[in-house]
Amino acid sequence: DAKTTQPTSMDCAEGRAANLPCNHSTISGNEYVYWYRQIHSQGPQYIIHGLKNNETNEMASLIITEDRKSSTLILPHATLRDTAVYYCIVRVGGGSNYKLTFGKGTLLTVNP
């Protein structure tokens, strides 16, 4: 799986949009971008994933650049409960690849 690079930490004001960047410059054509988050030692929680088109669900939006070398997770209206470590994971979409490979992620702190 391709390597990802994320900032160590970010701050965001409550109610504002949180934009979390991720670089994955070595991504290959059959690899998807996944985002998970982990709230203070709880189990990781799936947020969203995509291949090349932008994706949106009830939690967030995922913007993938045209060359697919980077992406941004957007939490449109961050709340205090969104304070967590956010992981960007690049993963081959199936076949014999089952695992998620977590990096250190970005600690997002939402401030009142």
Partner 1 sequence: EPEVTQTPSHQVTQMGQEVILRCVPISNHLYFYWYRQILGQKVEFLVSFYNNEISEKSEIFDDQFSVERPDGSNFTLKIRSTKLEDSAMYFCASSASIWSGRTGNEQFFGPGTRLTVL
Give contact residues for partner 1 (rule: CB under 8 A): 32, 34, 38, 41-46, 49, 51, 87, 91-104
CB of 91 to partner 1, least distance (A): 7
Of the chain, the end-to-end C-alpha distance in Å amounts to 37
Beta strand 106-111 with 84-92: parallel, antiparallel or unpaired?
antiparallel
Return the half-sphere exposure (C-beta side, CA atoms, 13 A cut-off) of residue 31: 21
Our CB check for partner 1 shows the closer of 35 and 82 to be: 35
CB of 25 to partner 1, least distance (A): 20
Our CB check for partner 1 shows the closer of 19 and 38 to be: 38
CB of 86 to partner 1, least distance (A): 13
Q: How buried is residue 7: exposed, middle or buried, by Cβ count under 10 Å (0-12/13-18/19+)?
A: middle
Our CB check for partner 1 shows the closer of 26 and 111 to be: 26
Torsion-angle region of residue 95: left (phi > 0), alpha (psi -120 to 50) or beta?
left
Our CB check for partner 1 shows the closer of 14 and 61 to be: 61
